[in-house]
């Protein structure tokens, strides 16, 4: 019987003296899994993750087992220490892996939880190779980018395929083809295609079509040069997605087809649309999903009954996005508002609720560094609800507290997420419990009343990376509370990413004054959900419910907040 350990048996010793270094998991057979590799040219941020997750969804709906993986060229071990201004939101998987926002797109589009196997960085690859070298696994060979580093990348892809029993693995390589840090990743997938054999790998290139305003026409030269760079690296794309604000013209597609040796039916326009949830329809209408199956020789394995049912459900969801019956104004009061990707999952959770409730939510971005007790009423004028999202650090905290106080006192629906939960506790302690000087030791280590403090287990940890309360954790819900009603039971599982908690010694005083801690960590005095009884909707959670909201299954906290905002509007 085949071994099934998570850490694959190292096979380096078997091929240490061979230039054809091809590490594979136990029982893995070359060609048994298919791969779709998605790369970008011209510029980054084209939507490789959106295309990849949309195509993967279409193939999953046809009955195939799909597993996505994101390869990042940066040397960080994970995304946990990245500034939101530089890389957008940090998305957290159930197993605690801190990833970039594309993993959230995959989870939402595929409606499946991913693991750390689906997120690989150069830092992880190099660390693994060097550790093996120190243990003598390469039997004295000089360790090189080829074949050892590229071999490690291929091993990780095959590891995911085996661990998830995938029919098709979707491989997204971050950045662009021209990035130096991506060169060994691209070389690895080139080798992978050769080793896996014919009809094993489909290469998809997203390329940007320029449309200078002064010229008034689309230009494809930059796209052509980007494709030349890809082909110079030994990869012939099978499918090309033309990204741009407007639909790519036939002339542009014809030029790219000729230049890149790609048939016209595999060159399609993936232009901007109202929602990313329309991209599956765009791919389907151009029959790109069918072309992928032809290239992988899988067209005879489609479950047509499942496909029809799944597509009908998806179309019912997307139709609701474009036909709202009402409009609601929501304030998002944060400090990273200049980069919307910093709150990507929140935006999607709101979009899910909007479709579910046939409502368009107009989002008003309020920079809390500019909010004071004197101007908060003006800043929140006309809003039907307030969300205070997660964050770290001192900047903008007093503005958040002012917004929370206004929402509490004026019965404005409020939802606090992680940091928004902590700030709600501070506001309540100051203004209801009369604990003047109440604060967080993150903001002021010497505050008079540290109602928010680090967990005892956090004091012994050093450094920043991976030392928070991370990933999925069960929450024990208090019967009879709104939280228990929303999650329909006495337990819920949500995801976390924080270091600071409600200090246990203040819990009794807060509850005696009316704060209800309706969710806590099982067996521990760690408060995780709060609510107020004398308010239309005032809830906060240490968790990030936006991470587990799905298009066809919106998160209950967000949905009830949205319903309260609709009622507030009247």
Is 334 part of a structural domain of the chain? yes
pLDDT digits 0-9 by tens, 494-531: 999 988 999 999 999 999 999 999 999 999 889 999 99
The confidence score (pLDDT) of residue 458 equals 56
The confidence score (pLDDT) of residue 338 equals 65
Inform me whether the pLDDT recorded for 8 exceeds 50.
Answer: no
The confidence score (pLDDT) of residue 322 equals 80
Confidence of residue 238 (pLDDT cuts 50, 70, 90): very high
Q: In what order do the strands lie in the sheet with 449-454?
A: 438-440, 449-454, 500-502
Same domain, 518 and 479: yes
Same domain, 290 and 341: no
Same domain, 236 and 309: yes
| C-alpha of 352 from chain center | 15
Is 2 part of a structural domain of the chain? no
- 3-class DSSP state for residue 257? helix
pLDDT digits 0-9 by tens, 323-344: 788 899 999 998 766 666 788 9
The confidence score (pLDDT) of residue 12 equals 42
Q: Rounded mean pLDDT of 184-193?
A: 97
pLDDT digits 0-9 by tens, 48-63: 999 999 999 999 999 9
Is residue 215 classed exposed, middle or buried when 0-12, 13-18 and 19+ CB atoms within 10 A define those classes? exposed
Confidence of residue 457 (pLDDT cuts 50, 70, 90): low
Same domain, 356 and 303: no
Same domain, 204 and 124: yes
> Hey, what long-range contacts does 524-530 have (CB within 8 A, 24 or more apart)?
526/455, 526/501, 526/502, 527/501, 527/502, 528/475, 528/494, 528/496, 529/421, 529/475, 529/477, 529/483, 530/416, 530/421, 530/424, 530/425
Confidence of residue 67 (pLDDT cuts 50, 70, 90): very high
Rounded Cα–Cα distance for residues 102 and 174 (Å): 10
Active site residue 27: no
DSSP assignment of 102-134 equals HHHHHHHHHT----GGGEEEHHHHHHHHHHHHH
Confidence of residue 17 (pLDDT cuts 50, 70, 90): low
Is 54 part of a structural domain of the chain? yes
- End-of-domain residue from the set 283, 316, 349: 316
Of the listed 148, 498, 544, 560, which one is catalytic? 544
Phi and psi based region of residue 437 (left: phi greater than 0; alpha: psi -120 to 50; beta: remaining): left
Is 234 part of a structural domain of the chain? yes
Question: What percentage of the chain exceeds 90 in pLDDT?
Answer: 82
Is 5 part of a structural domain of the chain? no
Same domain, 189 and 205: yes
Is 432 part of a structural domain of the chain? yes
Of the listed 418, 427, 473, 559, which one is catalytic? 418
Inform me whether the pLDDT recorded for 462 exceeds 70.
Answer: no
Same domain, 408 and 270: no
- End-of-domain residue from the set 316, 337, 358: 316
Closest CA to 455 of 472, 467, 443: 467
Active site residue 559: no
The confidence score (pLDDT) of residue 454 equals 87
Inform me whether the pLDDT recorded for 480 exceeds 90.
Answer: yes
Q: Rounded mean pLDDT of 296-319?
A: 97
The two structure tokens encoding residue 279: 């991209």
The confidence score (pLDDT) of residue 139 equals 84
- End-of-domain residue from the set 267, 287, 316: 316
Same domain, 296 and 339: no
Q: What are φ and ψ of residue 145, in 5° steps?
A: -60, -45
pLDDT digits 0-9 by tens, 89-129: 899 999 999 999 999 999 999 999 999 999 999 999 999 99
Closest CA to 533 of 481, 476, 479: 481
CATH number, position 242: 3.40.50.300
Same domain, 303 and 401: no
More confident residue, 303 or 141: 303
The confidence score (pLDDT) of residue 80 equals 87
- Mean pLDDT, the chain, rounded, equals 92
Is 514 part of a structural domain of the chain? yes
CATH number, position 517: 3.40.50.880
Same domain, 137 and 182: yes
Inform me whether the pLDDT recorded for 418 exceeds 50.
Answer: yes
More confident residue, 486 or 22: 486
Confidence of residue 467 (pLDDT cuts 50, 70, 90): low
Q: Rounded mean pLDDT of 364-385?
A: 94
Inform me whether the pLDDT recorded for 5 exceeds 50.
Answer: no
Confidence of residue 456 (pLDDT cuts 50, 70, 90): low
Confidence of residue 23 (pLDDT cuts 50, 70, 90): confident
Number of domains in the chain: 2
Same domain, 245 and 370: no
Of the listed 433, 442, 546, 559, which one is catalytic? 546
Parent domain of 52: 12-316
Is 6 part of a structural domain of the chain? no
Same domain, 260 and 360: no
Active site residue 544: yes
């Amino acid at each position: 019987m085949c071994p099934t350990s998570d850490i694959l048996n190292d096979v380096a010793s078997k091929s240490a003296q061979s230039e054809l270094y091809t590490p594979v998991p136990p029982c893995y057979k070359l060609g048994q899994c298919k791969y779709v590799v998605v790369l970008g040219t011209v510029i980054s941020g084209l939507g490789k993750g959106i295309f990849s997750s949309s195509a993967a969804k279409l193939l999953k709906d046809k009955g195939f087992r799909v597993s996505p993986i994101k390869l990042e060229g940066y040397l960080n071990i994970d995304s946990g220490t990245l500034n939101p201004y530089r890389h957008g939101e940090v998305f957290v998987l159930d197993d605690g892996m801190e990833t970039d926002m594309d993993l959230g797109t995959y989870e939402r589009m595929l409606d499946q939880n991913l693991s750390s196997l689906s997120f690989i960085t150069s830092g992880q690859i190099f660390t693994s190779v060097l550790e093996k070298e120190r243990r003598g696994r390469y039997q004295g060979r000089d360790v090189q980018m080829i074949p050892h580093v590229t071999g490690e990348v291929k091993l990780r892809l095959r590891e995911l395929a085996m661990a998830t029993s995938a029919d098709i693995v979707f491989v997204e390589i971050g950045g662009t083809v021209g990035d130096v840090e991506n060169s060994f990743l691209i070389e690895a997938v080139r080798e992978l295609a050769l080793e896996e054999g014919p009809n094993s790998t489909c290469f998809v290139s997203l390329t940007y079509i320029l449309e200078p305003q002064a010229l008034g026409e689309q230009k494809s030269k930059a796209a052509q040069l980007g494709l030349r760079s890809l082909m110079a690296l030994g990869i012939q794309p099978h499918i090309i997605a033309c990204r741009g604000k407007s639909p790519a013209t036939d002339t542009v597609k014809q030029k790219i087809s000729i230049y890149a040796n790609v048939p016209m039916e595999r060159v399609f326009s993936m232009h901007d649309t109202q929602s990313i949830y329309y991209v599956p329809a765009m791919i389907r209408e151009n029959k790109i999903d069918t072309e992928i199956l032809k290239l992988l020789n899988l067209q005879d394995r489609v479950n047509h009954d499942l496909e029809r049912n799944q597509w009908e459900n998806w179309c019912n969801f997307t139709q609701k996005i474009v036909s709202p019956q009402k409009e609601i104004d929501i304030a998002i009061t944060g400090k990273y508002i200049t980069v919307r990707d910093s709150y990507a999952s929140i935006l999607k959770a709101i979009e899910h609720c909007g479709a579910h409730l046939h409502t368009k939510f107009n989002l008003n971005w309020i920079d809390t560094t500019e909010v004071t007790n004197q101007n908060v009423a003006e800043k929140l004028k006309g809003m039907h609800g307030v969300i205070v999202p997660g964050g770290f650090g001192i900047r903008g905290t007093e503005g958040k507290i002012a917004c929370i106080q206004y929402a509490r006192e004026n019965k404005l629906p409020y939802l606090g997420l992680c940091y928004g939960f902590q700030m709600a506790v501070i506001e309540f302690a100051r203004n209801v419990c009369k604990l003047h000087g109440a604060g967080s030791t993150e903001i002021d280590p010497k505050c008079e009343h540290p109602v928010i403090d680090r967990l005892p287990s956090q004091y012994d940890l050093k450094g920043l990376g991976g030392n928070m309360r991370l990933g999925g954790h069960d929450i024990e819900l208090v019967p009879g509370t709104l939280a228990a009603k929303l999650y329909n039971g006495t337990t819920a599982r949500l995801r976390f990413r924080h270091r600071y908690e409600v200090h246990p010694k203040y819990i009794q005083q807060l509850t005696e004054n009316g704060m209800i801690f309706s969710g806590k960590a099982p067996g521990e005095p760690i408060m995780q959900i709060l609510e107020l009884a004398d308010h239309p909707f005032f809830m906060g959670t240490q968790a990030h419910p936006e991470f587990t909201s799905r298009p066809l299954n919106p998160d209950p906290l967000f949905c009830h907040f949205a319903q309260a905002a609709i009622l507030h509007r009247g």
